[in-house]
Chain A
Amino acid sequence: MQMNRKQSVNIITLFLVLVAGFTAASILAPKRTFSETENRTLLTLPVPDVESVLSGKFGERYEAYLADQFPGRDGWIALKTGAERAALRQDAKGVYFADDDYLIETHEGVFDVPQAQASATHLSAFCRALTSQEDAPNLSVMVVPNAVDILADKLPPFAAPFDEEEYLKTIQGLLPEGVWFDAGSVLRREAEAGRQIYYRTDHHWTTGAAFAVFREWARSRGLGEFAEADYNITQVSDTFTGTIAAKVAQTSVHDAIEIYEAKDASPIRVRVNETGEETDTIYVPDKLETRDQYAVYFGGNNAIVETRVLHREPKERRLLILKDSYAHCFAPFTFSCFDQVDLVDLRYFNRPLKELMEEKDYTDILVLYNAAGFAEDVSLAKLTGGA
Chain B
Amino acid sequence: MVFSSLLFLFRFLPIVLVLYFAVPRKARNLILLLVSLFFYAWGEPVYVVLMAVSIVSSWLGGLAVDALRERGNERGAKWALILASGVGLALLGVFKYTDFVLDITSRVIGRQISPLGLALPIGISFYTFQTISYVADVYRGTAAVQKNIISYGAYVTMFPQLIAGPIVQYKTIDRQLRSRQESVEQFAEGVNRFIIGLGKKVLLANNAGVLWDTVRRMQGPIPALTAWLGLAAFTFQIYFDFSGYSDMAIGLGEMFGFRFLENFRYPYLSASVTEFWRRWHISLGTWFREYVYIPLGGNRAGLAKQIRNILVVWLLTGIWHGANFNFVIWGLYYGVILLAEKMVFARLLKRLPAWAKHLYTMFFVMIGWYIFSYNEIGSGMGYFLSLFGAGGLADRGSIYLLYNFAVLLIALILGSTELPARAGRALLARTEDSDWLCIALRGIFYAAVFIFSVAWLVDASFNPFLYFRF
Contact = CB atoms under 8 A, between A and B. Distances in A.
Contacts of A1: 424-425, 428-429
Contact of B395 (A12, A56, A160): A160
Interface of B: 1, 5-7, 9-11, 13-14, 17, 42-46, 184-185, 187-189, 191-192, 195, 214, 217, 219, 395-397, 399-400, 403-408, 424-425, 428-429, 435, 438-439, 442-443, 446-447, 450-452, 454-461
A77 interface: yes
A26 B6 contact: yes
A109 B218 CA distance: 9
Given A1-B428, A7-B435, A88-B406, A158 B399 contact: yes
Given A6-B439, A67-B6, 6 more contacts: A11-B191, A23-B10, A79-B452, A88-B404, A88-B407, A160-B396
A89 interface: yes
Given A1-B425, A59-B42, A63-B7, A108 B214 contact: yes
**Minimum-distance CB pairs A-B, first 4:** A8-B188, A160-B397, A158-B400, A76-B458
Nearest to B406: A88
Q: Which of B7, B14, B458 has the most CB of A within 10 A?
A: B458
Interface in A190-246: none
Contacts of B188: 3, 7-9, 11-12
Contacts of B457: 67
Given A1-B425, A18-B447, A66-B6, A83 B452 contact: yes
A20 B14 contact: yes
Contacts of B446: 11, 14-15
A12 B396 CA distance: 49
Contact of B454 (A22, A54, A62): A22
A3 B424 CA distance: 13
Interface string A156-187: 11111000000000000000000000000000
Contact of A91 (B46, B184, B399, B404): B404
Contacts of B458: 67, 70, 73, 76-77, 80
Contacts of A7: 188, 435, 438-439, 442
Contacts of B424: 1
Given A1-B425, A12-B187, A89 B404 contact: yes
Interface of A: 1-12, 14-16, 18-20, 22-23, 26, 53-56, 59, 62-63, 66-67, 70, 73, 76-77, 79-80, 83, 87-91, 93, 108-109, 112, 156-160
Contacts of B395: 160
A77 B397 CA distance: 27
B7 A54 contact: no
A93 B207 CA distance: 11
Contacts, number: 141
Given A20-B14, A67-B460, A83-B452, A10 B439 contact: yes
Contacts of B189: 3, 8
A23 B14 contact: yes
Nearest to A8: B188
A15 B459 CA distance: 22
B7 A70 contact: no
Given A11-B442, A67-B458, A88-B407, A19 B400 contact: no
A71 to B, nearest CB: 10
13 contacts: A2-B185, A10-B443, A11-B191, A11-B192, A11-B442, A12-B184, A12-B187, A22-B454, A56-B45, A63-B6, A76-B458, A89-B405, A89-B408
Contacts of B7: 62-63, 66
A220 to B, nearest CB: 35
A14 B403 CA distance: 37
A87 B6 contact: no
Nearest to B210: A92
A93 B14 CA distance: 31
A90 B400 contact: yes
Nearest to A12: B188
B429 A80 contact: no
A198 B226 CA distance: 31
Contacts of A20: 14
Contacts of A70: 6, 458
Given A14-B443, A87-B407, A54 B46 contact: yes
A156 B442 contact: no
A22 B450 CA distance: 11
Contact of A14 (B17, B447, B459): B447
Contacts of B454: 22, 76
